[in-house]
Amino acid sequence: MAAHGDMNIKAHASTYDRVMAMLKWGTVGCAFIAAIVIWLIA
């Protein structure tokens, strides 16, 4: 575990941006799949 004075903000920000992008596209993908399933059921 890193000490409080040894934080790498650039690495953290990069990781955070990638995670947020994955969550965004995962949400879009799930909504698309749900729309297809609803369309197939209807």
The structure's pTM equals: 0.67
Look at residue 42 in the predicted model and tell me its pLDDT: 87
| Tokens encoding 7 | 């934080």
Look at residue 4 in the predicted model and tell me its pLDDT: 64
Instruction: Extract long-range pairs of 8-15: CB within 8 Å, 24+ residues apart.
Output: none
Write out the chain in H/E/C secondary structure. Answer: CCCCCCCCHHHHHHHHHHHHHHHHHHHHHHHHHHHHHHHHHC
Which residue did the predictor score with more confidence, 9 or 26?
A: 26
Q: Provide mean pLDDT across the span 1-27.
A: 86
Q: Give the confidence band of 41 by pLDDT, cuts at 50, 70, 90.
A: very high
Q: Look at residue 27 and tell me whether its pLDDT is greater than 80.
A: yes
